[in-house]
Structure 1
């Protein structure tokens, strides 16, 4: 699994971090970021739900 965050689109709503806190966090400016070592989703079943929860579709999840 590959996760990409469009930082130009992200508005810092935080829905990803609330939905999948084991994979997503928010940086110092409040925008979405991946936790270190979790760039592949770490098998978290909520990653796709977190992408769907993003109000501006800033997160793309693809299978490798």
Structure 2
């Protein structure tokens, strides 16, 4: 909680709830970004695995 939140006429409880809501929003956005990055990594891994398998075929 910042001093501004306390001085703006809100109660300590109200300021805490606002901060918690912001933290939840930030965590939600972070989780969304991590999901996207993980999916991109999965796709890249599949592509690399496929390319590796194609390179390996002539040597088998």
Query: TM-score scaled to structure 1, two decimals?
Result: 0.22
Give the structure, 1 or 2, with the largest relative contact order (CA under 8 Å, sep 6 or more): 1
Which one has the bigger strand percentage?
1
TM-score, length basis structure 2: 0.23
Higher Rg: 2
